[in-house]
């Protein structure tokens, strides 16, 4: 699994968690926060990621879970999870069939290249795609006309601040360790959270450009394909070399499909309350294991996640179907977390 | 009959004589299903519809030729409403929004720097496979 240049004993990280975090950040940003504050929520999320998310994620991934994972997943399943998660993220981001087609074409090509040439070339390919995107935006800037949606609105901070706090922790995947420990932990290094956060921020920014052009009533093919290809690339690059597919599907994959389909009504409750609440508990437990400045940073991050949960409480859904979806989501989460906790203690 | 009715509905429209631009006066013309000017219609404009900072402003009432003068004060996407008729316009900006552009470039720079900083590190020492 480990490639040349990586230490087995160095920082471990969970690629499935990275994809989950990036897909969720992008989806919610394009659907909600971009419309309520323009680029302001993303800017605040970037600051939170730099000063809280990355330090917490670094310590979380360095220490690893307190107990051994109850389940172990083959890498092929992680790849499948990452790909489907990214597809669901792209679909939720509203990039349309063209984006999905680009994703479905780009992902197998990238998967083959990753399998043939290894992990790091894939990550470098993401960097090349990033440069191409930046150059294309720079060239077309005089004719770009998507400023209405991108215009930052700081005065509406009450609407988007909870999202910014959660997104800032999700970008480097802080607070997801215990919840997403099922995918295998790959040997990484201590700067991996920076790379993952940068990639997530880039994808969110690029898709914001695409959404802004669409909001102006213009074609967005040139802007829409690039971020989708980026998603395809990061889906495979972060998942690492494939090791064959299995039929057994993972909980995060089922969760992604659930929220994209019948459980869509429960997404708001999950995103605005249950997820930040769980993240605050995870980061709080991490803070108790740390000392000094690292502990204080983790406590502040836990308080931020708790504040986001309390401040972002969406209320009980009004519609019958939405309420049923929210209730099913809550029951499913309690069952999954409870079962996993019991199994983890038995195998510890 | 239904086809004729649908064609008639499709013909009702709000048009402008000059594409709207920030601070520049233009004239809106409201026509009915048969292409005749609609008089006495209150015309309103919604700037940034559905987005933060949404602003609805009354432009005025159409005259005998279905016309009303409009000087846009907010750039970007806007929807003009006259009774049940709506038409989306894009109010042209006088110059690039420097604040938004700066924030966008900062986000791109931060993401690129963060990615490159994370990728550049390669540990030395024990090498395993």
DSSP characters for A147-171?
A: HHHHS--GGGHHHHHHHHHHHHHHT
Determine contact, residues B35/B11, Cβ cutoff 8 Å: yes
pLDDT of the residue at A164: 93
Determine contact, residues B118/A1, Cβ cutoff 8 Å: no
Closest CA to B111 of A60, A39, A272: A39
Q: How confident is the model at residue B8 (pLDDT cuts 50, 70, 90)?
A: very low
**Along the 348 residues of chain A, how does pLDDT read in single tens digits?**
334 333 333 444 555 566 667 767 777 777 788 899 999 999 999 999 999 999 998 887 777 654 444 444 455 555 555 555 555 555 555 555 555 555 555 556 655 655 555 555 555 665 566 566 656 666 666 667 778 889 999 999 998 999 999 999 988 888 875 444 444 445 456 777 888 888 888 878 877 877 787 787 765 544 455 555 555 555 554 444 444 333 334 455 566 667 666 777 777 788 888 889 988 988 998 899 899 999 999 999 999 999 999 998 888 777 788 888 888 888 877 776 666 666 656 655
Contacts (Cβ under 8 Å, ≥6 apart) of B21? B72, B91, B92, B94
Q: Among all residues of chain A, which has the CA nearest to that of B113?
A: A198
pLDDT of the residue at B129: 33
Contacts (Cβ under 8 Å, ≥6 apart) of A286? A56, A59, A60, A63, A177, A298
Contacts of A192 in chain B (CB under 8 A): 118
Q: Compute the distance between CA of residue B95 and CA of residue A230 in angstroms, rounded to an integer.
A: 31
Q: Which of residues 55-84 of B touch A (CB under 8 A)?
A: 75-77
Q: Among all residues of chain A, which has the CA nearest to that of B118?
A: A195
Q: Which of B96, B104, B127 sits opposite A5 (nearest CB)?
A: B127
Helix, strand and coil percent figures for chain B, each rounded to 5: 25, 35, 40
Taking an 8 Å cut-off on Cβ atoms, the answer to whether A6 and B77 are in contact is no
Taking an 8 Å cut-off on Cβ atoms, the answer to whether B122 and A189 are in contact is yes
pLDDT of the residue at A342: 66
Q: Compute the distance between CA of residue A242 and CA of residue A116 in angstroms, rounded to an integer.
A: 10
pTM of the predicted protein model: 0.76
Closest CA to A230 of A20, A23, A17, A12: A23
Q: Compute the distance between CA of residue B108 and CA of residue B110 in angstroms, rounded to an integer.
A: 5
| Cβ–Cβ pairs < 8 A, chains A and B | 140
User: Which domains, from first to last, does chain B contain?
Assistant: 2-93 (2.60.40.10)
Reported as a single tens digit per residue, the pLDDT across B62-111 is: 888 889 999 998 888 899 988 878 888 888 888 888 999 999 989 989 99
- Indicate if the alpha-carbon torsion angle A17, A20, A26, A30 is positive or negative: negative
Q: Compute the distance between CA of residue A92 and CA of residue A87 in angstroms, rounded to an integer.
A: 9
Long-range contacts of A98-104 (CB under 8 A, 24+ apart): A98/A221, A98/A224, A98/A225, A99/A224, A99/A225, A99/A227, A99/A228, A100/A228, A102/A224, A102/A225, A102/A228, A102/A229, A102/A232, A103/A228, A103/A229, A103/A231, A103/A232
User: Could you state, in order of their start, the residue ranges of all structural domains in chain A?
Assistant: 12-249
Q: Compute the distance between CA of residue A283 and CA of residue A288 in angstroms, rounded to an integer.
A: 9
Q: Among all residues of chain A, which has the CA nearest to that of B110?
A: A198
Q: Identify the weakest region by mean pLDDT among A99-108, A144-153, B3-12, B29-38.
A: B3-12
Q: Which strands form B76-82's sheet, in the order they lie side by side?
A: B55-61, B42-47, B76-82, B85-91
B98, B101, B115: best to mutate for the A interface, most A CBs within 10 A: B115
Q: What does chain A come to in residues?
A: 348
Taking an 8 Å cut-off on Cβ atoms, the answer to whether A39 and B107 are in contact is yes
Enter the ipTM.
Answer: 0.79
């Amino acid at each position: 699994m480990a490639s040349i240049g990586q230490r087995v004993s160095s920082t471990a990280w969970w690629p499935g968690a990275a994809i989950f975090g990036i897909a969720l950040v992008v989806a919610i940003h394009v659907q909600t926060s971009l419309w309520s504050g323009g680029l302001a929520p993303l800017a605040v999320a970037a600051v939170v990621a730099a000063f809280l998310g990355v330090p917490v994620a670094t310590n979380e991934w360095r220490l690893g879970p307190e107990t051994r994972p109850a389940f172990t997943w083959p890498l092929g399943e992680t790849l499948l999870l990452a790909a489907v998660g990214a597809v669901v993220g792209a679909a939720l981001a509203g990039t349309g069939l063209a984006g999905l087609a680009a994703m479905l074409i780009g992902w197998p090509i990238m998967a083959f290249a990753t399998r043939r040439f290894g992990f790091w070339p894939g990550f470098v390919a993401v960097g090349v795609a990033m440069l191409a995107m930046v150059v294309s935006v720079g060239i077309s800037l005089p004719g770009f006309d998507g400023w209405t949606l991108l215009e930052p609105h700081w005065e509406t901070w009450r609407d988007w601040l909870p999202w910014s706090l959660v997104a800032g922790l999700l970008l480097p995947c802080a607070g997801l360790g215990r919840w997403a420990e099922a995918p295998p932990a790959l040997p990484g290094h201590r700067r991996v959270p920076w790379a993952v956060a940068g990639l997530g921020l880039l994808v969110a920014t690029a898709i914001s450009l695409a959404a802004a052009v669409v909001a102006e009533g213009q074609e967005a093919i040139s802007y829409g394909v690039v971020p989708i290809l980026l998603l395809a690339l990061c889906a495979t690059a972060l998942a690492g070399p494939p090791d064959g597919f299995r039929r057994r599907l993972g909980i995060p994959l089922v969760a992604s499909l659930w929220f994209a389909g019948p459980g869509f009504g429960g997404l708001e409750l999950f995103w605005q309350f249950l997820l930040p609440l769980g993240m605050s508990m995870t980061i709080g437990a991490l803070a108790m294991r740390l000392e000094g400045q690292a502990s204080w940073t983790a406590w502040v991050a836990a308080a931020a996640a708790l504040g986001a949960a309390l401040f972002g409480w969406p209320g009980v859904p009004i519609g019958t179907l939405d309420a049923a979806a929210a209730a099913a989501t809550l029951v499913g989460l309690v069952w999954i977390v409870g079962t996993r906790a019991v199994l983890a203690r038995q195998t510890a | 009959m239904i086809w004729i009715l649908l064609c008639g509905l499709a013909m009702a429209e709000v048009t402008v004589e000059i594409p709207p631009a920030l601070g520049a006066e233009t004239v809106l013309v409201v026509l009915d299903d048969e292409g005749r000017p609609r008089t006495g219609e209150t015309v309103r404009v919604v700037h940034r519809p559905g987005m933060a900072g949404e602003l609805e402003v009354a432009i005025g009432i159409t005259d005998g030729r279905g016309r009303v003068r409009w000087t846009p004060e907010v750039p970007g996407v806007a929807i003009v409403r006259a009774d049940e008729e709506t038409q989306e316009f894009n109010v042209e900006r006088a110059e690039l929004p420097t604040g938004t552009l700066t924030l966008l470039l900062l986000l791109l720079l931060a993401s690129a720097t963060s990615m490159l900083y994370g990728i550049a590190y390669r540990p030395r020492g024990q090498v395993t496979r």
